[in-house]
Amino acid sequence: MNSAKEIQKGEGKILELKEKLPKNTNIAKTVIAFSNTGGGKLIIGVNDKREIVGIDDIALFEIQDKITSIISDQCSPNIIPEIYSVNIESKLVLVIEVVRGNLKPYFLKNQGKAKGTYIRIGATNRLADLENINELERQKRHIGFDEEICYETTFENLDCSPLLDRFKKNGKTLTTEKLENLKLVKTENSILYPTNALMILLGKFSHCAVKCARFKGTTMDIFIDKKEYTGDIFSILENTQHFILNHINLGAIINGLYRKEVYEIPEVAIREALVNALIHRDYVNGGRDIKVGVYDDVVNIVSPGSLPNNITMEDIFNGRSESRNRVLANIFKELGLLEQWGSGINRIINSSKEYGLPIPKIEEKNDFMDIEIVRKKEIPINQSTEKRSITTDYERLRTIANDYEQLIPEKQSILLYLLDHKSISKKEAASLIKSKNTKTYEVLKELMETDKLVDKQGQGRATHYILKRKK
């Protein structure tokens, strides 16, 4: 992209515009921030309205020499930017182009690393805190936070059954050797420790949570329902997806015995957005978590952490893949929760377009990612089939179970079926929840004995299940 087009896009993560030469320290801070983040350009000779005002070409070489001296005297480690002039609209602008550095962290010499390190957040230069500096040190070593050893516990003290069960369902076995190859455990001084990735997968960090809310209207003023999901990352994914589905409109078509659900938002778009949030979020910052908001008009998913420093939103839309948490991403790929690298964002966009929805808003806002999927006002239903009124699952389930969200998805599916069909056989239930007879029997038994929501009627082949009558 040429300089004129970059200027018209305005300031951002990799561009800063100035009408006049900034103060010495401000130049150094910008160059340091670009070096520590994704590189960038400081263009001098452009006002706040993005109008080209130019610089005095007589003093051009003097300005270039001054900038070189400022950077050399104030920045450490040494930064060597490319400084050149560009003629735009018959006016001269000066460009200071900085590449992403390999010797991070860069900082102001007179302030030192702890107090003089700057990073680029959106269109601003921010003083880096200790967590930021540690992350820059990791980047220099080409290692992610999720690859580092967690010394808070040892592997033998962890219950890894949620992860083992997931691999078992996929026909895979997790041995210690496999865990090491996946970088989920590491040995140090003959002790086997978990990495941060394993702790995140098992939900052992307090900030590994997703906060969900259903708001009334289009603002956050009043909420109808609110949940916080913790535990292993797979349960969080499933619970969060069900929260969203329970709070958006659902249409249905009845074909023979079976009810086919049609949500107003494609389920693939919701799942891809949640997977993207969980595996790409910034887990270094312990003070933030993922937030999901369901409004009357949109579903909004906000995830801590901007894009990895060396890519832009344009790269993302072009299918470029760059994961902040490579170990987590690889686990999701192993389990089939992540398909092709770099395809998630386009899958969200394309599935929404196929539904006739506006293109979702996918933005990098300062130091977090924001995905906003527009809800559909009307759900197309096959006119040749029986219809039912469009409502939300949570409204229907709440009529028979106040604590419906505590029920596993299989139980919810059976209850919704019973609301439409009055009764269900074990064979029909097994087909509905796509499970074997033994598992289906356990689910039906729990609905009867533990949840007390279903009654059993008939014997032998005539056995069927109905909703329990309220007394």
Helix, strand, or coil here: 219? coil
Residue 161 has pLDDT above 80, yes or no: yes
Residue 290 has pLDDT above 90, yes or no: yes
pLDDT score recorded for residue 387:
37
Q: Report which residue type is found at 243.
A: F
- Where in the sequence of the chain do the CATH 1.10.10.10 domains occur? 399-467
Nearest-10 Cα torsion for 122, 128, 133, 136:
20
Residue 157 has pLDDT above 90, yes or no: yes
CA distance 135 to 132: 5
Q: What is the pTM of this model?
A: 0.73
CA distance 87 to 43: 12
Q: Check whether the bond before 77 is cis (ω within 30° of 0).
A: yes
pLDDT band at 401 (very low <50, low <70, confident <90, very high): confident
**Pick from 70-84, 94-108, 152-166, 424-438: least confident:** 424-438
Most distant CA pair in the chain: distance in Å?
99
Average pLDDT over residues 465-469: 86
Q: What is the pLDDT of residues 99-156, one digit of tens each?
A: 999 999 999 999 999 999 999 988 899 999 999 999 999 989 989 999 999 999 999 9
Give the CA distances from residue 107 to residues 92, 103, 175, in Å, rounded to whole numbers and listed in that order: 30, 11, 44
Q: What is the pLDDT of residues 404-419, one digit of tens each?
A: 667 887 888 888 888 8
Cβ atoms within 10 Å of 387's Cβ, excluding its own: 12
Residues 6+ apart with CB under 8 A from 181: none
Share of the chain above pLDDT 90, in %: 56
Residue 300 has pLDDT above 60, yes or no: yes
CA distance 434 to 123: 50
Residue 290's nearest CA partner among 277, 279, 300 is: 277
Rounded to 5 degrees, what are φ and ψ at 256?
65, -120
**First vs last C-alpha separation in the chain:** 71
Q: State the chain's mean pLDDT as an integer.
A: 87
pLDDT higher at 261 or 424: 424
Q: What is the pLDDT of residues 55-65, one digit of tens each?
A: 988 888 889 99
Sheet of 454-457, strands arranged across: 423-424, 464-467, 454-457
Q: What is the pLDDT of residues 339-362, one digit of tens each?
A: 766 678 888 999 998 888 899 999
Give the CA distances from residue 305 to residues 217, 262, 375, in Å, rounded to whole numbers and listed in that order: 28, 33, 25
Two tokens, residue 379: 């759900």
| Strand residue runs (E) in 15-159 | 15-18, 40-44, 75-76, 82-88, 91-98, 107-108, 118-121, 124-127
Residues 6+ apart with CB under 8 A from 102: 140
Average pLDDT over residues 14-19: 93
Give the CA distances from residue 189 to residues 155, 192, 193, 285, in Å, rounded to whole numbers and listed in that order: 14, 8, 10, 28
Sheet of 298-304, strands arranged across: 223-229, 210-215, 290-294, 298-304, 368-374, 361-365
Give the CA distances from residue 337 to residues 121, 278, 307, in Å, rounded to whole numbers and listed in that order: 30, 11, 21
290, 229 Cβ separation under 8 angstroms: no
Architecture of domain 210-374: 2-Layer Sandwich (3.30)
pLDDT score recorded for residue 378:
52
Average pLDDT over residues 245-265: 72
Residue 384 has pLDDT above 50, yes or no: no
Residue 251 has pLDDT above 90, yes or no: no
CA distance 25 to 23: 6
pLDDT score recorded for residue 389:
40
Share of the chain above pLDDT 70, in %: 91
pLDDT band at 470 (very low <50, low <70, confident <90, very high): low
pLDDT score recorded for residue 382:
45
Residue 457 has pLDDT above 70, yes or no: yes
264, 250 Cβ separation under 8 angstroms: yes
pLDDT score recorded for residue 256:
56
- Where in the sequence of the chain do the CATH 3.30.950.30 domains occur? 3-140
pLDDT score recorded for residue 419:
85
DSSP string, 121-145: ETTEEEE--HHHHHHHHHHHTT--G
456, 418 Cβ separation under 8 angstroms: no
Residue 388 has pLDDT above 80, yes or no: no
Pairing of strands 210-215, 290-294: parallel
pLDDT score recorded for residue 306:
82
CA distance 394 to 225: 10
pLDDT band at 390 (very low <50, low <70, confident <90, very high): very low
Q: What is the pLDDT of residues 178-227, one digit of tens each?
A: 999 999 999 999 999 999 999 999 999 988 999 999 999 999 999 899 99
What CATH superfamily is the domain 3-140? Schlafen, AAA domain (3.30.950.30)
Two tokens, residue 431: 């087909």
H or E element at residue 48: none
Residues 6+ apart with CB under 8 A from 414: 424, 429, 432, 433, 443, 444, 447, 454, 465
Which CATH topology does 399-467 take? Answer: Arc Repressor Mutant, subunit A (1.10.10)
